[in-house]
Amino acid sequence: MIGTANLKETTAKGLIWSAVERIGTQGFQFVFGIIITRILFPADYGLVGMILIFVAIGQTIVDSGFGSALIWKNDSTETDHSTVFYFNITVSLVLYLIFFFLAPVIATFYDEPRLINLIRVICLNFLIISFSLIQQVDLQKKVDFKLLAVVNILGSLIAGIAALIMAFRGFGAWAIVVQMLAKSFITSLLLWIFNKWRPIFVFSLSTLKQLFGYGSNLMAAGLISTIFRNLYFNIIGKLFPITSLGYYTRAVQLSDFPVMTISQIFNRVVFPVFSTIRDDGERLKNAVRKTLRTMIFITFPVLVGLISVADELIEIMLTEKWLPASGYFKLLCLAGIFYPFQVLNNEILKTKGRSDWVLRLEIITKTVMVINIFITWRWGITAIIIGQTVSVFFAYLIGFFYVSKLIGYTLWEHLKDIFPYLAISAGMYFALAVTSNQISNPLISLIVMSVLGLTFYFTAVWLFKLEERKEIQVIFKRIRINFSK
């Protein structure tokens, strides 16, 4: 449990190392992904895109929400941790056997026999990650992200090298599969070597029952979110050519890099921290507002900037053969603007023990998503993504309604927190749009717009004296202190 006396120091340190871990991990995956993408073809990504939903579902079930339950339970014991550990391993083994025998059925559905072996190999990830889940929970509960940073960055580096070698040797989609498995294996191995936590030989049904009420709602919500997040891959894979799915899959991966990286930096830290102060209403509300402002201070300009330079970025990084993915990428970045709000809403609901509301929120928002898919699919992939953006916006609004009831965070306060950063980002977008029309060379255009965007945004933040400029200065100061130790 985090002591309230040093809560600010613990939170700051946790955010710094969480940022190092996420940026380092995702950075290596991004760089290797770019190189591999230049070697592989859209059809290779299309093959993997067809089975991502099964991988994501399996990983959600393996955790079953018990990891979050252990973090939320401030007085969790070694019996609790060990019980969940053995449960995770058992569930992962059962899941792997199910998907092993379902592989031919899935391949038949897509009329793609190559999927059989891909599924049987990639689903080994369930078994691998089950051994490291509680190791990660142990570190997250203590807001100790330093070790997580080291092992995840090393895992990403080694996995990226292995995948790159396979891509050069013509293994196609298998390079992507090996990258996923190698990352999980190296991370799990290093956690067991360097983290001191070990399971004890005990399994308690009463512990599972106790954690089930909280964890089962999160598992159900996670399953719904995972299924529908990956449903687009399956719908596009079934209704459109595999090359189109390849463009969409790569666009999703590119947009996920900034969206997921920024969100995960915060959400893994704020949940244990918020849980410590969950009974102090005013303190929790202030912490939520400060976290939101810091998140959007970073997220808004990054995503708006990526929308502005998307064409140049994809042409330079991935070559011209991937330019059809640019339009999808822009729309996905637009949808990603609302994702940090959803993440924070869910963390607040979890903090207040309302995992049932998390589940209810998922059911409502995914119903909206189904309606959007039903309406938009006939007009193509672009229309589907526009519908996806609308669904994410509704999810944000509905989530805020629940949060405002719990912590007294009014809509007016929320808009005051958001508007300055939204307005400055919008101004930056128009400045970049005008600039892009004046430069024909993609590389020069990308460099000029990147410099202009950064200059415009931070100048505006400084002129309007927004609070987060001071927070960022403090964070950089703490980074120097942490790395000088």
What pLDDT, in 10s, does the model give residues 352-375?
777 777 788 888 878 888 888 888
What pLDDT, in 10s, does the model give residues 212-245?
777 677 777 777 777 777 777 777 877 888 788 8
8 A C-beta contact, residue 148 and residue 139? yes
**Checking phi first, is residue 466 left (phi over 0); if not, alpha (psi -120 to 50) or beta?**
beta
One-letter amino acid for residue 161 of the chain: I
Please work out, in degrees rounded to the nearest 5, the angle formed at the alpha carbon of residue 180 by the alpha carbons of 174 and 184.
140
Confidence band (pLDDT; 50, 70, 90) for 483? very low
**Least confident span in 98-102, 103-107, 423-427, 457-461:** 457-461
Q: Which two tokens stand for residue 107?
A: 């391949």
Three-state DSSP at 202 gives coil
Burial of 32 (0-12, 13-18, 19+ CB in 10 A): buried
Whole-prediction pTM: 0.66
Highest-confidence segment of 135-149, 322-336, 459-473: 322-336
8 A C-beta contact, residue 154 and residue 26? no
Confidence band (pLDDT; 50, 70, 90) for 208? confident
Short-list 28, 49, 42, 19, CA closest to 314: 42
Task: Report the distance separating Cα 84 and Cα 107, nearest Å.
Answer: 33
Residue 403: Cβ within 10 Å count = 25
Diameter of the chain measured on Cα atoms: 68
Tell me the backbone φ, ψ of residue 99, rounded to 5 degrees. -70, -30
Give the pLDDT mean for 123-145: 83
Mean pLDDT for all residues in the chain: 81
Q: Which two tokens stand for residue 146?
A: 């330093």
475/363: higher pLDDT: 363
**Checking phi first, is residue 441 left (phi over 0); if not, alpha (psi -120 to 50) or beta?**
beta
Task: Report the distance separating Cα 26 and Cα 20, nearest Å.
Answer: 10
Highest-confidence segment of 58-72, 216-230, 440-454: 440-454
What pLDDT, in 10s, does the model give residues 284-299?
888 888 888 888 888 8
Give the pLDDT mean for 125-138: 87
Task: Report the distance separating Cα 106 and Cα 110, nearest Å.
Answer: 7
What is residue 192's predicted lDDT score, i.e. its pLDDT? Answer: 92
Confidence band (pLDDT; 50, 70, 90) for 406? confident
Q: Which residue's structure tokens are 């509301």? A: 357
Determine the length of the chain: 485
**Least confident span in 13-17, 167-171, 332-336:** 13-17
| pLDDT > 60? residue 479 | no
Name the strand (E) or helix (H) holding 265. helix 242-276
What is residue 12's predicted lDDT score, i.e. its pLDDT? Answer: 63
Q: Which two tokens stand for residue 157?
A: 């580096």
What is residue 291's predicted lDDT score, i.e. its pLDDT? Answer: 82
8 A C-beta contact, residue 328 and residue 240? no
Task: Report the distance separating Cα 239 and Cα 479, nearest Å.
Answer: 48
Confidence band (pLDDT; 50, 70, 90) for 471? low
| pLDDT > 70? residue 478 | no
Q: Which residue's structure tokens are 């308690």? A: 204
Q: Which two tokens stand for residue 423?
A: 């307005």
What is residue 407's predicted lDDT score, i.e. its pLDDT? Answer: 84
Short-list 417, 165, 391, 98, CA closest to 285: 417
**Least confident span in 117-126, 138-147, 383-392, 393-402:** 138-147
Burial of 161 (0-12, 13-18, 19+ CB in 10 A): middle
One-letter amino acid for residue 425 of the chain: S
What pLDDT, in 10s, does the model give residues 76-129?
788 888 888 898 899 899 999 999 999 999 889 888 888 999 999 999 999 998
CA dist 166 → 155, 161, 409 (Å): 17, 9, 51
CA dist 207 → 17, 85, 301 (Å): 31, 12, 45
Confidence band (pLDDT; 50, 70, 90) for 5? very low
What pLDDT, in 10s, does the model give residues 233-280?
777 877 888 788 888 888 888 888 788 777 777 776 777 777 777 777
Please work out, in degrees rounded to the nearest 5, the angle formed at the alpha carbon of residue 424 by the alpha carbons of 418 and 428.
140
**Checking phi first, is residue 3 left (phi over 0); if not, alpha (psi -120 to 50) or beta?**
beta
DSSP class per residue in 437-480: TT---HHHHHHHHHHHHHHHHHHHHHHTT-THHHHHHHHHHHHH
Name the strand (E) or helix (H) holding 111. none
8 A C-beta contact, residue 416 and residue 410? no
Q: Which residue's structure tokens are 């290779």? A: 44
Radius of gyration of the chain (CA): 22
| pLDDT > 50? residue 1 | no
Q: Could you tell me how many helices (H) and strands (E) the chain has, helices first?
A: 19, 0
Residue 444: Cβ within 10 Å count = 11
Task: Report the distance separating Cα 127 and Cα 130, nearest Å.
Answer: 5
Task: Report the distance separating Cα 259 and Cα 255, nearest Å.
Answer: 6
